[in-house]
Amino acid sequence: MTTETVATAEMLIGGRRVAANDGQTFDTYNPATGEVIARVPEAGPEDVDRAVGAARQAFDGGKWPAFSAAKRGRILLKAAALIRARLEELAELETRNGGKTITDSRGEVLGTAASFEYYAGAATRIMGETIPVSAPGLDLTLREPVGVCAQIIPWNFPIVMAGWKLAPALAAGCTVVLKPAEQTPLTALKLGEILSEAGLPDGVVNIVTGPGETTGSALINHPLIDKIAITGSTEVGKIVMHAAAEGIKRVSLELGGKSPNIVFDDVDIESVVDQSVYSVFANAGQDCCARTRFFVHERIADEFTAALAERTRRLRVGDPRDEQSEIGAIISPEQQANIERYLDIGQKEGAELLVGGTRPGDTSLASGNFLLPAVFAGVRNDMRIAREEIFGPVVGVLTFRDEEEAISLANATQYGLSGSIWTRDIGRAIRLMRRVRAGVLSVNSNSSVHVEAPFGGFKMSGIGRELGTRALDLYTEVKNVYIAVD
Ligand code: NAD
């Protein structure tokens, strides 16, 4: 086992890199080895207050919202170029702190650069309307930045989530206090450095680190915040909505999921299995869009399930730094224990565990949080493993008789984030596409995310749409202006 160097991280407040006011720190770990890799400032209420104050000043008195959209765009483009130039460094840090494979981390870093590039261009396309009102004169709308934003992100895609949040807010002219998840603060802090280097004025982006219950809570309840955007669990989403209600703050929520993967009997089974394993096991299943409920037509269910179990057994769980590894580590021992609890629950509920669900035998992985991906057969929709978000490498196979039953089973959930429909029948694909209640669907694909297209959930999976031009709606207010004409 290698010994990691323990670094000391600093927050970004008002353009300065700082420790917490009271000197408090917490440790952050490498999930693949269990080792501490950095001591990170634990922001208290005074630090949050300083960060919000800096963002407020940069918004109210500062130049950022007054910069031309083109100038804001140029700074975002510079940030994107710096991210691309530091691809390997950022990917290695993401892998060390998040436990994900180096291949996935590279994809994430490139996705972050793509967000900054997209919103660099989008900044000059935030446009109002002219409206033919009945009164004489001219009526038009302006789209103005919403103000100071609190942005809170989870640990499962740390740097790309920071990019999804920061880039549209900055393009719109907002200023930000961002809080990364306490498990994975390091790449967001690096992104803060990159933004400063790209020419972002002091105070426009501030990054505070610490636990949700203290640092996060101080941030969402701060009276000078205009808008809260969070990606996280549905439980925390509810807390955020309550806090937003108190101050009538604008709020957008990207929350949990329990997404369906609906497979009809006219598909090429091997090909669908081959792609579908990644829809649920990528990032060790710690993905809000994971298709954790596989609904398979009863005619092909046995063959599909056997092929899925076999393909799952062949997935390579290993050292995330190894280019050959397909699945890395679970974020923490607590999360691993939580997943293992669900594996127990599933078996007690009567589902049949066909493969995986145990820790790998490879002794070089013993000190990290690793789990072999698991497939349950004989799952019913009323079982807890089919209803609750496990957020780990666990999938359940259920069967259906016909289209109508597939739709009703897929929709029988409190969530509505994503889903896949596999069929060669275009008419059927269109009928299901219209009736499955989720914000992000894919047909004959496991892909959920495109920076140019809207992303977000129905029902308890969230409110609002990130990415694409829709994200700009989250960060702008509409102002109507009527100009009288004599
Ligand atoms: P979490 O809800 O525990 O934490 C998310 C963030 O909220 C963290 O930064 C945390 O510190 C902060 N937080 C926690 N309590 C808070 C409070 N009281 N006040 C303010 N902030 C608080 O979620 P997690 O375990 O980090 O991430 C996993 C969850 O995120 C899953 O449910 C997953 O589905 C969801 N997720 C959703 C999306 C999406 O786009 N819909 C994407 C990724 C993850």
Q: Which amino acid is at 207?
A: I
pLDDT of residue 170: 98
Residue nearest to atom 10 of ligand 1 (CA): 212
The number of the ligand 1 atom at minimal distance from the alpha carbon of 236 is 2
Q: Could you read off the pLDDT of 316-336 as tens digits, one per residue?
A: 999 999 999 999 999 999 999
Residue nearest to atom 42 of ligand 1 (CA): 288
- Cα separation of 135 and 155, whole Å? 53
User: Residue 3: is its pLDDT beyond 60?
Assistant: no
Q: Are 225 and 52 in contact (CB under 8 A)?
A: yes
Q: Could you read off the pLDDT of 30-76 as tens digits, one per residue?
A: 999 999 999 999 999 999 999 999 999 999 998 899 999 999 999 99
| Strand order across the 25-29 sheet | 7-8, 36-41, 25-29
DSSP letter string, 218-229: HHHT-TT--EEE
288 lines ligand 1 (CB under 6 A): yes
Q: What are the φ and ψ backbone dihedral angles of 473, each rounded to 5 degrees?
A: -65, -30
- Cα separation of 231 and 253, whole Å? 6
pLDDT of residue 486: 84
- What is the whole-number distance in angstroms between the Cα of residue 256 and the centre of ligand 1? 9
User: Residue 379: is its pLDDT beyond 70?
Assistant: yes
pLDDT of residue 4: 61
- Cα separation of 94 and 351, whole Å? 35
**Residue among 108, 182, 254, 326 flagged as catalytic:** 254
Mean pLDDT of the chain: 97
336 lines ligand 1 (CB under 6 A): no
**Helices and strands (DSSP H and E) totals, the chain:** 15, 23
The number of the ligand 1 atom at minimal distance from the alpha carbon of 391 is 31
**Mutational test site, ligand 1, from 189, 207, 233, 283, max ligand atoms within 8 Å of CB:** 233
- What is the whole-number distance in angstroms between the Cα of residue 43 and the centre of ligand 1? 18
Question: What residues contact residue 420 under an 8 Å CB cut-off, 6+ apart?
Answer: 259, 260, 261, 262, 276, 279, 291, 441, 442, 443, 444, 445, 446
User: Residue 267: is its pLDDT beyond 80?
Assistant: yes
User: Residue 408: is its pLDDT beyond 70?
Assistant: yes
Question: What residues contact residue 347 under an 8 Å CB cut-off, 6+ apart?
Answer: 353
Q: Give me the mean pLDDT over the 364-387 stretch.
A: 97
**Residue among 108, 288, 326, 466 flagged as catalytic:** 288
- DSSP type of residue 134: S
**Mutational test site, ligand 1, from 219, 236, 252, 417, max ligand atoms within 8 Å of CB:** 236
Burial class for 470, CB neighbours closer than 10 Å (0-12, 13-18, 19+): middle
User: Residue 137: is its pLDDT beyond 50?
Assistant: yes
212 lines ligand 1 (CB under 6 A): yes
Q: Could you read off the pLDDT of 438-463 as tens digits, one per residue?
A: 999 999 999 889 999 999 999 999 99
Q: What percent of the chain has pLDDT over 70?
A: 99
The number of the ligand 1 atom at minimal distance from the alpha carbon of 219 is 20
- What is the whole-number distance in angstroms between the Cα of residue 233 and the centre of ligand 1? 4
Q: Could you read off the pLDDT of 88-108 as tens digits, one per residue?
A: 999 999 999 999 999 999 999
- List the structure tokens of 25: 């720190």
- List the structure tokens of 75: 């700074």
- 288 counts as catalytic: yes
Q: Could you read off the pLDDT of 413-422 as tens digits, one per residue?
A: 999 999 999 9
pLDDT of residue 1: 46
pLDDT band, very low/low/confident/very high, at 5 (cuts 50, 70, 90): confident
- Angle CA 20–229–158, to nearest 5: 65
Residue nearest to atom 14 of ligand 1 (CA): 212
DSSP letter string, 360-403: -S-GGGTTS-----EEEES--TTSHHHHS---SSEEEEEEESSH
Place of tokens 């400032």: 41
User: Residue 2: is its pLDDT beyond 80?
Assistant: no
- 254 counts as catalytic: yes
- Cα separation of 210 and 197, whole Å? 24
By C-alpha distance, which of 231, 178, 221, 222 is closest to 203? Answer: 178
- What is the whole-number distance in angstroms between the Cα of residue 268 and the centre of ligand 1? 37
Q: Are 314 and 337 in contact (CB under 8 A)?
A: no
* Partner residues linked to 288 by β-bridges: none
Q: Which amino acid is at 218?
A: A
Q: Could you read off the pLDDT of 197-223 as tens digits, one per residue?
A: 999 999 999 999 999 999 999 999 999
Residues making up the chain, counted from first to last: 486
